[in-house]
């Protein structure tokens, strides 16, 4: 054990580790979790509260880890295309493909939501072809402005908890829920710090790096992630800021959980300094009330009152104001909207939001892309021309 | 002084040699699979035309989809900015620019001082682009340049809707089976292309002067359809419509050369005047 100091020296720093965390079956934290008797559940959208999964304290060592379902690196969707036509979203097809390929063999189950029709329908193929040990669906209301809709959503969340209980004989205690809430609020606070470090004239990290950190956060127990992130933030603070960028941009639109797209954008000299993504800022903004007598209700409230997804029937004005606020806060030169081909909600929302922003003199660009952006040249041409437009 | 602009598109490659005042020479050819190869061949062709050699070039900038793959270009600029630069030089009244290439359509707004104001491009799909016309020409066994004159001979367009380059061949054959002439199908294709382009450009007003660039600008039926549907005249270009992007790249080459050489160049210019 004399070599321990040496070993410590060659270990990657916390920041390095977060930036290079392997995904899925190679993720050491997921492997550890499984090796220790834990269970892993994937969820598909930010209307599935991670806390209700994380708070389940199982018998003996079986703890429950929520991870966000992603398919970064998915190269083809030929098997998924048999079930979901090529005229459907490539995120739904990519995740199903990886499911069919067995890339998520570590998963004990999945929690879907009805947020988007294409993901909702992919549920059926997961059920019939992969037979996960546990499968649940949260029906998310399409309006957020009435109490009745909130009660509906709360009931859906409680149904999933009950389903966990029926399957595994376990329910999360109030104490476990409150403990989880504290961990998750700390997670949000730290992630907001990452955003704050990108605001100044010399941002401390690129959009690609910020997204890699977020991606690590989706795939690690939050308790460990928080500790790593605290150390990483210390490291980031020591770094010189980035000044050799052409323009500051905000990224909005369809979910982005794969750094590839941001790398293409930043390859043209743009720096993504903030975002309005459900895998980014929208995922972490808004705290859950701590010390509540009814923690599940408190959790549901946070998820139901956060900035909405365009699949909601209301909230367009609020989402436009949200993007404007973030654009101003980060002092961006332009906003890049993107949507995955056939993502109706974000395609239409992009049009509405970009018109509103252009009217106020904020330049916008809208990109159509596949979940796994392969046509790099086509995207680069558009982003480069946008840079040339806003550079003046 | 000799500045080179090279535009490697998905279907054709262009080179323009510019001496700071006028186009000295230019060349255009079908693109080869490797951008570097296209660039080399088309530049050599342009150099040969004016009996110049590569050593005579002071600065070279590439554009087009292959722009990043040209080893001898000192920098690259997107084709959108190059089109603005080239078109504004040719006609300083240009405020809107429509470019129809093989794969991409662009509608570009130009500021009064010749800068890129905004642009819209087709999304992933190449519907209603040059590829679409190419497919129809191929179905008829014609070259792309024969399609425009053919369309102008039609009395009325055949009833067609599809702007997809993949399905259009089937659509054309079905119409021919119904007795529609090749000319009426070619005219319909020009109308479909123009309508799709205008629909895509609704984001902003099309202000005059309006100019049309790219290979498809050579199809007179498309030009007439665009003018009719927009109710605006399209300004004729003093050069081949396909070389505007390469010209813009050559002017960017001059700009970059001047700023690299710095104030000395400005003084020299002053003395010349």
Of the candidates A358, A375, A388, which has its C-beta nearest B116's C-beta?
A388
Mean pLDDT of A247-267: 96
- pLDDT tens digits for range A269-302: 999 999 999 999 999 999 999 989 999 999 999 9
pLDDT score of B161 more than 90: no
Is residue A187 situated within a structural domain? no
How much is the ipTM here? 0.81
Mutate to test the interface with A, among B102, B120, B124 (most CBs of A within 10 A): B124
Mean pLDDT of B161-173: 84
What's the pLDDT at B165?
Answer: 80
Chain A contact set for B78 (CB, 8 A): 381, 384-385, 388
B118 and A363 within 8 Å at the Cβ level: the answer is yes
What's the pLDDT at B270?
Answer: 32
- pLDDT tens digits for range A30-76: 999 999 999 999 999 999 999 999 998 776 677 899 999 999 999 89
Same domain as B158, residue B84: no
Is residue A74 situated within a structural domain? yes
Q: How far apart are CA A49 and CA A45, in angstroms?
A: 9
Closest chain B C-alpha to A114 CA, distance in angstroms: 28
Is residue A37 situated within a structural domain? yes
A385 and B79 within 8 Å at the Cβ level: the answer is yes
How would you write chain A as a 3-class SS string? Answer: CCCHHHHHHHCCCHHHHHHCCCCHHHCHHHHHHHHCCCEEEEECCCCCCHHHHHCCECCCCCEEEEEECCCCCCCCCCCHHHHCCCCCCHHHHHHHHHHHHCCCCCCCEEEEECCCHHHHHHHHHHHHHHCCCEEEEECCCCCCCCHHHHHHHHHHHHHHHHHHHHHHCCCCCHHHHHHHHHHHHHHHHHHHHHHHCCCCCCCCCCHHHHHHHHHHHHCCCHHHHHHHHHHHHHHHHHCCCCCCCCEEEEEEECCCCCHHHHHHHHCCCEEEEEECCCCCHHHHCCCCCCCCCCHHHHHHHHHHHCCCCCCCCCCHHHHHHHHHHHHHHCCCCEEEEEEECCCHHHHHHHHHHHHHHHHCCCCEEEEEECCCCCCHHHHHHHHHHHHHHHHC
Partner A contacted by B82 (CB < 8 A): no
What's the pLDDT at A60?
Answer: 65
What's the pLDDT at B269?
Answer: 38
**B108 sits in which H/E element:** strand B105-110
pLDDT-above-90 percentage for chain B: 74
Closest chain B C-alpha to A386 CA, distance in angstroms: 8
Partner A contacted by B54 (CB < 8 A): no
Is residue A150 situated within a structural domain? yes
Is residue A213 situated within a structural domain? no
Range of the domain at A109: 28-175
Structure tokens that stand for A107 in this block: 């998963």
pLDDT score of B265 more than 60: no
What's the pLDDT at B260?
Answer: 86
Same domain as B128, residue B30: no
Same domain as B102, residue B221: yes
pLDDT-above-70 percentage for chain A: 96
Of the candidates A358, A369, A388, which has its C-beta nearest B78's C-beta?
A388
Mutate to test the interface with A, among B10, B35, B78 (most CBs of A within 10 A): B78
CATH classification at residue B137: 3.30.420.40
Same domain as B204, residue B118: yes
Partner A contacted by B33 (CB < 8 A): no
pLDDT-above-70 percentage for chain B: 95
Mutate to test the interface with A, among B80, B103, B105, B199 (most CBs of A within 10 A): B80
Same domain as B244, residue B137: no
Confidence of residue A385 (pLDDT cuts 50, 70, 90): very high
The three-class DSSP label of residue B86 is helix
Residues 330-349 of A with CB under 8 A from B: 341
Confidence of residue B122 (pLDDT cuts 50, 70, 90): confident
Partner B contacted by A391 (CB < 8 A): no
B116 and A375 within 8 Å at the Cβ level: the answer is no
Mutate to test the interface with B, among A338, A385, A387 (most CBs of B within 10 A): A385
- Mean pLDDT, chain B, as a whole number? 90
- pLDDT tens digits for range A137-195: 999 999 998 999 999 999 999 999 999 999 988 888 899 999 999 999 999 999 999 99
Same domain as B116, residue B81: no
B118 and A380 within 8 Å at the Cβ level: the answer is no
CB B251 within 8 A of CB B58: no
Chain A contact set for B117 (CB, 8 A): 389
Partner A contacted by B222 (CB < 8 A): no
What's the pLDDT at A241?
Answer: 96
Partner B contacted by A375 (CB < 8 A): yes
Chain B contact set for A375 (CB, 8 A): 124
Residues 86-115 of B with CB under 8 A from A: 104, 115
Same domain as B253, residue B186: no
Closest chain A C-alpha to B76 CA, distance in angstroms: 10
Size of interface A-B (CB pairs under 8 A): 41
What's the pLDDT at B204?
Answer: 78
Look at chain B and report how many structural domains it folds into. 2
Same domain as B262, residue B201: no
CATH classification at residue A124: 3.40.50.11890
A381 and B119 within 8 Å at the Cβ level: the answer is no
Partner A contacted by B34 (CB < 8 A): no
pLDDT score of B266 more than 50: no
pLDDT score of A339 more than 70: yes
Range of the domain at B158: 93-236
Structure tokens that stand for A388 in this block: 């040339």
A384 and B78 within 8 Å at the Cβ level: the answer is yes
DSSP code per residue over B217-233: GG-HHHHHHHHHHHTSP
A389 and B123 within 8 Å at the Cβ level: the answer is no
Look at chain A and report how many structural domains it folds into. 1
Chain A contact set for B124 (CB, 8 A): 341, 368-370, 375, 378
pLDDT score of B163 more than 90: no
- pLDDT tens digits for range A105-114: 999 999 999 9
A368 and B77 within 8 Å at the Cβ level: the answer is no
pLDDT score of B272 more than 80: no
Mean pLDDT of A348-365: 95
B68 and A375 within 8 Å at the Cβ level: the answer is no
For residue B103, give the chain A residue with the closest CA.
A378
Is residue A316 situated within a structural domain? no
What's the pLDDT at B169?
Answer: 85
- pLDDT tens digits for range A115-130: 999 999 999 999 999 9
Which comes out higher in pLDDT, residue B127 or A239? A239
Same domain as B31, residue B102: no
- pLDDT tens digits for range B50-76: 999 999 999 999 999 899 989 999 999
Is residue A99 situated within a structural domain? yes
Is residue A232 situated within a structural domain? no
Same domain as B267, residue B223: no
- Mean pLDDT, chain A, as a whole number? 93
Partner A contacted by B207 (CB < 8 A): no
Of the candidates B78, B115, B118, which has its C-beta nearest A381's C-beta?
B78
Confidence of residue A6 (pLDDT cuts 50, 70, 90): low
Of the candidates B68, B81, B121, which has its C-beta nearest A388's C-beta?
B81
Mean pLDDT of B176-191: 94
Q: How far apart are CA A368 and CA B250, in angstroms?
A: 30
Confidence of residue B267 (pLDDT cuts 50, 70, 90): very low
Same domain as B188, residue B159: yes
CB B58 within 8 A of CB B44: no
What's the pLDDT at A72?
Answer: 93
What's the pLDDT at A1?
Answer: 46
Chain B contact set for A358 (CB, 8 A): 118
Closest chain A C-alpha to B149 CA, distance in angstroms: 32
Mean pLDDT of A212-229: 97
The answer, yes or no, to whether the previous bond of B209 is cis (omega within 30 of 0) is: yes
Mutate to test the interface with A, among B88, B106, B121 (most CBs of A within 10 A): B121
B65 and A389 within 8 Å at the Cβ level: the answer is no
pTM above 0.90, yes or no: no
Same domain as B158, residue B87: no
């Amino acid at each position: 054990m004399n070599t321990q100091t040496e070993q410590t020296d060659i270990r990657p720093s916390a920041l390095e580790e977060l930036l290079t965390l392997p995904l899925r079956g190679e993720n050491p934290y997921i492997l550890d979790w499984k090796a220790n008797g834990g269970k892993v559940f994937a969820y598909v959208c930010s209307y599935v509260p991670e806390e209700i999964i994380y708070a389940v304290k199982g018998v003996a060592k079986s703890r429950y880890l929520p991870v966000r379902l992603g398919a970064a690196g998915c190269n083809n969707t030929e098997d998924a295309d048999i079930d979901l036509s090529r005229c459907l979203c490539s995120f739904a097809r990519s995740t199903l493909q990886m499911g069919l390929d067995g890339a998520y063999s570590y998963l004990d189950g999945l929690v879907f939501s009805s947020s988007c029709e294409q993901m909702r329908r992919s549920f059926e193929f997961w059920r019939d072809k992969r037979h996960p040990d546990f499968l649940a669906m949260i029906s998310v209301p399409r309006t957020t402005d009435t109490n009745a809709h909130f009660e509906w959503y709360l009931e859906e969340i409680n149904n999933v908890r009950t389903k966990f209980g029926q399957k595994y004989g376990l329910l999360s205690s109030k104490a476990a829920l409150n403990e989880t809430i504290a961990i998750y609020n700390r997670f949000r606070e730290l992630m907001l710090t990452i955003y704050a470090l990108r605001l100044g004239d010399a941002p401390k990290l690129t959009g690609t790096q910020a997204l890699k950190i977020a991606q690590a956060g989706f795939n690690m127990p939050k308790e460990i992630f928080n500790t790593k992130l605290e150390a990483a933030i210390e490291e980031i603070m020591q770094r010189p800021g980035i000044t050799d960028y052409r323009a500051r941009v905000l990224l909005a639109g369809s979910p982005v959980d794969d750094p590839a797209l941001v790398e293409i954008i930043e390859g043209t000299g743009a720096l993504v300094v903030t975002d309005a993504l459900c895998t980014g800022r929208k995922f972490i903004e808004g705290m859950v009330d701590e010390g509540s007598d009814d923690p599940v209700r408190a959790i549901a409230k946070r998820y139901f009152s956060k900035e909405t997804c365009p699949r909601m029937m209301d909230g367009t004005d609020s989402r436009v104001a949200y993007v404007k606020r973030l654009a101003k806060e980060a002092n961006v030169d332009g906003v890049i909207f993107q949507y995955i081909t056939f993502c109706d909600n974000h395609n239409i929302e992009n049009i509405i939001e970009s018109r509103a922003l252009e009217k106020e003199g904020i330049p916008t660009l809208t990109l159509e892309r596949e979940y796994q952006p392969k046509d790099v040249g086509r995207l680069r041409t558009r982003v480069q021309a946008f840079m040339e437009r806003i550079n003046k | 002084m000799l500045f080179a602009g090279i535009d490697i598109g998905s279907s054709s490659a262009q080179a323009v040699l510019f001496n700071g005042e006028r186009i000295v020479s230019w060349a255009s050819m079908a693109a080869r699979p490797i951008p570097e190869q296209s660039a080399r061949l088309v530049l050599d062709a342009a150099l040969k035309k004016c009996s110049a050699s590569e050593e005579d070039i002071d600065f070279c900038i590439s554009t087009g989809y292959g722009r990043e793959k040209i080893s001898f270009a000192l920098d690259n600029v997107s084709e959108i900015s190059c089109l603005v630069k080239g078109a504004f030089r040719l006609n300083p009244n240009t405020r809107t620019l429509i470019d129809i290439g093989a794969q991409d359509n662009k509608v570009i707004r130009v500021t009064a001082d010749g800068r890129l104001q905004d642009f819209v491009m087709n999304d992933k799909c190449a519907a209603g682009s040059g590829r679409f016309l190419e497919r129809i020409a191929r179905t008829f066994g014609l070259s792309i340049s024969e399609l425009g004159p053919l369309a102008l001979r039609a009395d009325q367009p055949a009833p067609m809707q599809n702007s997809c380059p993949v399905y259009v061949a089937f659509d054309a054959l079905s119409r021919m089976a119904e007795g529609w002439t090749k000319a009426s199908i070619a005219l319909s294709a020009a109308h479909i292309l123009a309508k799709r382009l205008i629909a895509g450009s609704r984001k902003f007003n099309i202000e005059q002067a309006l100019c049309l660039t790219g290979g498809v600008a050579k199809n007179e039926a498309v030009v007439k359809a665009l003018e009719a549907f927009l109710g605006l005249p399209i300004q004729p270009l003093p050069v081949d419509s396909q070389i505007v992007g390469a010209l813009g790249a050559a002017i960017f080459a001059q700009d970059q050369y001047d700023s690299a050489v710095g104030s000395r160049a400005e003084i020299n210019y002053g003395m010349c005047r």
